[in-house]
Amino acid sequence: MADITQTRVQATTRTTTRKRIRWDHIADHAILIAGALLMLVPVYMVFATSSWDPITIHREGMQFGFGDRLAENYDAALFEYGGFTDSVNGMTMLANSLILGLGFAIGKIIVGMMAAYAIVYFRLKFATLAFWMIFTTLLLPLEVRILPSYEVISWMNLGNTYTGLIVPLIASATATFFFRQFFRSVPEELIEAARIDGAGPVKFFIDILVPLSKTMIAAMFIIMFVFGWNQYLWPTLITTDESLFTLVRGIRQIVQSYADGSETPDYGQAAALAIIAMTPPVLIVVFFQSWFVKGLTESDK
């Protein structure tokens, strides 16, 4: 123990005293910086572009510098009603995206936790089979089964509803899988102590398992929220009513008008909308990142 501490101290002093430039480090950093630029420059360009008028963008393409239409573009993107029916503005779409993201994340966590609870803690006849069947659905994301899912939803008359938008997305195994792994790592004695303490299955779940899973739930929430928020294909397919459009869907709608040949698409507004669409997931990740890391790495049980 003492040895280890000592070597560690030596190691740190060595790195702080010798500030020689290490060439392999420069290479590492160059790669990292290149990667970061690759990710960030497009975002910056969209942001810069969102401050220009549509004519300039149409003529000269994406912009590096800032124009003078920043406020107008964002105002229009958020509050100006558009679409064929003039029934949707940015705020509506923001709300819809939020409902989709939250509904998807919360629904998925609830379903996933309960399924994992059943599989891990109850002696079900076909628990393993059930688990592997659920697990296989990891290989079948919505995009693979999109046509049958569409059939089912329209047969149930759930097109153009939030239910139709959210529920089919929930049916997959990621959350179940993660919660199962987590529950299996909860010590057996804890369950036994709770049994002796008179906690039945429901009490054990609510009083013990859910609080223990707190960080795991937070991590799942972030992943699932962003995943739901970014859905494009399914909402496009299932919502034709413009008042149900999500942000991601709305961006397409603006650009679409160009293809329709009706007018010059408002690229500035589209760019503004893209930035608006990016913001909530980024905020959530920034605010919850410590929870996020904890949930995926911590084993404080």
Instruction: Please select the residue that binds another protein; options are 151, 192, 241, 298, rule is CB under 8 A.
Output: 192
Instruction: Please select the residue that binds another protein; options are 195, 206, 240, 241, rule is CB under 8 A.
Output: 195
291: Cα separation from own chain's centroid: 15
Compute, in degrees rounded to 10, the torsion defined by CA atoms 173, 174, 180, 181: 140
Under rule CB under 8 A, residue 194 binds another protein:
yes
Under rule CB under 8 A, residue 212 binds another protein:
yes
Q: Which stretch binds another protein (CB under 8 A): 18-26, 102-110, 148-156, 205-213?
A: 205-213
Report helix angle 214-229 to 267-297, nearest 10: 160
Nearer to another protein, 177 or 179 (CB): 179
Going by the DSSP 8-state scheme, the letter that residue 160 receives in this structure is T
**Could you tell me which residues are beta bridge partners of residue 82?**
88
Instruction: Please select the residue that binds another protein; options are 28, 151, 207, 298, rule is CB under 8 A.
Output: 207
CB of residue 196 to another protein, shortest distance in Å = 5
Cα separation, 107 vs 170, in Å, equals 7
Under rule CB under 8 A, residue 24 binds another protein:
no
Under rule CB under 8 A, residue 214 binds another protein:
yes
Instruction: Please select the residue that binds another protein; options are 211, 260, 262, 286, rule is CB under 8 A.
Output: 211
Give yes or no for a contact between 206 and 113, defined as CB atoms under 8 angstroms apart: no
Instruction: Please select the residue that binds another protein; options are 24, 68, 143, 300, rule is CB under 8 A.
Output: 300
Nearer to another protein, 29 or 203 (CB): 203
Q: How many residues lie near another protein (CB under 8 A)?
A: 19
254: Cα separation from own chain's centroid: 23
Under rule CB under 8 A, residue 226 binds another protein:
no
Q: Which alpha helices (DSSP H) does the chain contain, by range?
A: 2-17, 23-49, 54-60, 70-79, 90-121, 127-136, 146-155, 162-170, 174-184, 188-196, 201-203, 210-212, 214-229, 233-238, 247-259, 267-297
Under rule CB under 8 A, residue 190 binds another protein:
yes
Mark 121-138 as b/e (b = at least 16 C-beta within 10 Å). beeeeeeeeebeebeebe
Instruction: Please select the residue that binds another protein; options are 187, 259, 260, 262, rule is CB under 8 A.
Output: 187
Angle, CA of 139, 141 and 147, to the nearest 5° = 120
Mark 151-186 as b/e (b = at least 16 C-beta within 10 Å). eebeeeebbbbeebbbbbbbebbbbbbbbbebbeeb
Cα separation, 179 vs 208, in Å, equals 14
**Closest C-alpha to 53, from 69, 64, 39, 37:** 69
Under rule CB under 8 A, residue 198 binds another protein:
yes
Nearer to another protein, 152 or 194 (CB): 194
Under rule CB under 8 A, residue 189 binds another protein:
yes
Q: Which stretch binds another protein (CB under 8 A): 8-16, 27-35, 183-191, 285-293?
A: 183-191
Under rule CB under 8 A, residue 298 binds another protein:
no
CB of residue 133 to another protein, shortest distance in Å = 24
Nearer to another protein, 109 or 237 (CB): 109
Under rule CB under 8 A, residue 203 binds another protein:
yes
Binding site for another protein (CB under 8 A): 187, 189-190, 192-199, 203, 207-208, 211-212, 214, 300-301
